[in-house]
Amino acid sequence: MSEQGKVTTGQRLVAGLKAWRYGTVVGVFLLVVATLAWRLVDLHVVDQEFLSQQGDVRTIRVESIDAHRGMVTDRYGEPLAVSTPVQTIWANPSEIQIDDPRLAVVARQLGMSEGDLRGRIRDYSGREFMFLRRKVQPQLAQQVMEVGMPGIYSRQEYRRYYPAGEVTSHVVGFTDIDESGQEGIELAYNDWLSGERGKKRVLKDNLGRVIKDLTLIRDASPGKNLTLSIDLRLQYLAYRELKAVVTAHNARGGTLVMLDVDTGEVLAMVNQGAYNPNDRSQLTANRLRNKAITDLFEPGSTMKPISMAAALESGRYKASDTIDTAPGYRRFGRFTIRDHRNYGAISLTDVIVKSSNVGISKIANDLGGDVIRNMYARLGIGQPTGIGFPGEAVGVLPAPPKWRPVEEATLSYGYGMSLNALQLAQAYMVLANGGTRYPLSLLELTEKPVGQRVISEKVAYEVRQMLRKVVASGTGTRAQPGFYSAGGKTGTVHLVGKSGYEDSQYKAIFAGMAPIDDPRIVTVVAVDAPQSGEYYGGEVAAPVFARVMGGALRLLNVKPELELGQARKPESAAGERG
């Protein structure tokens, strides 16, 4: 083949190759265009749901709906704990320009350092959420939002508020910032009070702002309300008087418990020192304790009436019987039991009226330790009250295999054992209502509970008459509550320190009931370590009982029993010290 023919053939091959490549490219291009066109048609006409879902993912969000925590009220509906709507300020750091000058305005309104705010946003720059200020007043949140800072948002939450403040703090307790119970009733009934969060589907714009609520997935379920047995009027009265006596005597603290005699409901329960659950900046562990339930102490002479009930129930003693207390003391080896003075031969009633350690210890040694201990146990000493309060201390009620005489003696007047103020009030409630032990309750009862008879009406009546004389002429004369009759018993015990009993530190106690012929309420008052020079139960605790009981009976519309000339002011009464 000639050279010219070869060139012509080569040119044809090259031209054919170029045409093939061009056709291939055009074909591929047309195929891509056709595929894209088909996909567009498929998404917009055939398979619209996929495109809609992808768009929704970028604009529709599911948000939670906060639940309203249940309200706590007193027995008459007065609020003790409520949840109020507030606003929480939060930020999306990924949407914020760190050098935006409006950040300075936001920081100033939130009470934050501008440098700290910018530093936090820089640290969280890779995230989409951070808290700025939680649970602030709605007005403040509105001011922040009016700045118009991109990436700054607010949402509604709830904040717990306690209208009675420190007056009911130890009973009601408090919640944390997420409204979860931490102390008191708020903790004990947290599941009951807590609501269940809801969910809703919302439409947001590209800045994350909610444009529209679309659908409700699950509505928020609010917590249930709780009605306590507490009478807020009596609670205020008890708190005021207890705080006054602790201040007047420069005492370490104090406790007061008041029970309804016929139901076992707690009408008032206060402690000193207290705390304000609305301002927890200065909380200490010591202030958080509900000492009426968590703190144990030796009850001292307040147990003598219960020991006397055991003696009367045994049938071996009558109230009019006499017992020789001379020479005013008893020795058990190196241990000596003493009275304030030598009373000589006195009746069993005077053993209680004069608070004779010698007299009651002789009776206990005659009866035996088991008889005294069993009576204590039947009245609830050394056992849970069933009140369901967190941190309740049960106490110690000894039961040795063989009682030593000194153990029997000291147990009869409240040493060598321990209880809390609520247990002591429960024991006196049994004496007051004629011998029936009711379960105690911090919740209002809709019907009278079923009680258990633990002593006879006759024995309970005879002991009440002894307690009447204690207030009329014995160690508790300062406990007379104005125009009402009363009965009760004083107690003065050494406080226990690191090295045993402290010689100069005492707990002053008074436990009693009123009106004595038909008791309505029982009250126990205990004052820790008074430092004013007076420290006996009859000097420190009895006057508090008088003022609280007089005021409480008036508030409960109990008709006065005594005429003007019969009523006696607690401050003018004398009698034995107890």
Q: Which residues are catalytic?
A: 301
Which 3 state secondary structure label does DSSP give 473?
helix
382 torsion bin: left (phi>0), alpha (psi -120 to 50), beta (else):
left
Phi, psi of 512 (to 5 degrees): -165, -175
Residue type, 20: W
In the beta sheet, which residues pair with residue 418?
396
Residue type, 196: E
Q: 556-563: which pairs have CB atoms within 8 A and are 24 or more residues apart?
A: 556/520, 556/521, 558/484, 558/515, 558/520, 560/482, 560/483, 560/484, 561/483, 561/484, 561/485, 561/515, 561/517, 562/482, 562/483, 562/484, 562/485, 563/483
Q: For residues 223 and 205, what is the distance between their CA atoms, to the nearest angstrom?
A: 33
Q: For residues 535 and 531, what is the distance between their CA atoms, to the nearest angstrom?
A: 7
Distance of CA 542 to the CA centre of its chain: 27
Distance of CA 169 to the CA centre of its chain: 7
Q: For residues 423 and 300, what is the distance between their CA atoms, to the nearest angstrom?
A: 14
Question: What angle is formed at CA 45 by the lines to CA 39 and CA 47, rounded to 5 degrees?
Answer: 70
The answer to whether the beta carbons of residues 174 and 182 sit under 8 Å apart is: yes
In the beta sheet, which residues pair with residue 436?
453
